[in-house]
Chains A and B, each alone.
Chain A
Amino acid sequence: QQQVKQSPQSLIVQKGGISIINCAYENTAFDYFPWYQQFPGKGPALLIAIRPDVSEKKEGRFTISFNKSAKQFSLHIMDSQPGDSATYFCAASMSGGNNFNKFYFGSGTKLNVKP
């Protein structure tokens, strides 16, 4: 059972365009929503993360939009660059209880930014 559903599976964007990746979750106990970026041959690395007490978080060209009522969150990459070409994973986790570092990841989106 996929607790975090991610779309699209792949995305092609022109340089300078906006890349948008969407994720949806079911468990309302989730309280931490990170996005990880993975380049070929490398492990995922944290890109940006949000907690549900805010609706948006921006770091440079990367923005997370969070809709608590819809149980959805998305990653927006503004002014997309060829160097952004990578696989992006959304994830969700919950604090406390027996949930130490147990993250539920989406299935990934392979982004290709064309020059």
Chain B
Amino acid sequence: KAGVTQTPRYLIKTRGQQVTLSCSPISGHRSVSWYQQTPGQGLQFLFEYFSETQRNKGNFPGRFSGRQFSNSRSEMNVSTLELGDSALYLCASSSPGGAQFVVGELFFGEGSRLTVL
């Protein structure tokens, strides 16, 4: 079974630009979460999607947004990039999710490393 795939793996942007990151979850997984990883801060929750609906959101400014498609693939977008947005952005999928949800294992991709100059 293929794992979580994130693209691109590396990218460099300048302040003020915007960026879109993509995530393909494990087949059959309908929940996709995004986390920002920075040195010393660990992983910070951005948002979670299930069946194309955002179910939860972390404490990030509105410049950070996301969406999920009908095939469960997800994208996140960061607009008006700032130097502090430089980080590793991790996508994780999980199963099963839904009304009888019980928190469980996250399966992470290898991340997209964003550098903002």
Asked whether A102 and B41 contact (CB < 8 A) given A32-B103, A43-B4, A93-B103, the answer is: no
Task: Give min CB distance, A51 to chain B, whole Å.
Answer: 10
Task: Give min CB distance, B42 to chain A, whole Å.
Answer: 4
In the complex, are the beta carbons of A102 and B58 less than 8 A apart?
yes
Interface of A is mostly: loop
The digit string for A86-100, where 1 denotes a CB below 8 A from any CB of B, is 000101011110111
Interface size of B by CB at 8 A reads 30
In the complex, are the beta carbons of B108 and A44 less than 8 A apart?
yes
Q: CA–CA, A47 to B6, complex, Å?
A: 22
In the complex, are the beta carbons of A95 and B108 less than 8 A apart?
no
Q: B108 — nearest CB in chain A belongs to which residue?
A: A43
Q: CA–CA, A104 to B56, complex, Å?
A: 13
Known contacts A89-B43, A106-B42; 20 additional CB pairs below 8 A are: A34-B105, A36-B108, A41-B110, A43-B4, A43-B90, A43-B110, A44-B90, A44-B108, A49-B105, A95-B103, A98-B55, A100-B56, A101-B31, A101-B33, A101-B94, A101-B106, A102-B45, A104-B45, A105-B43, A105-B44
Task: Name A residues whose Cβ lies closer than 8 Å to a Cβ of B.
Answer: 6, 9, 31-32, 34, 36, 41-46, 49, 89, 91, 93-96, 98-108
Q: List 26 A-B contacts (CB under 8 A).
A: A9-B40, A32-B103, A34-B105, A41-B110, A43-B90, A43-B92, A49-B105, A89-B42, A89-B43, A95-B102, A95-B103, A100-B31, A100-B48, A100-B97, A100-B101, A101-B31, A101-B56, A101-B103, A102-B45, A102-B56, A104-B45, A105-B42, A105-B43, A105-B44, A107-B41, A108-B40
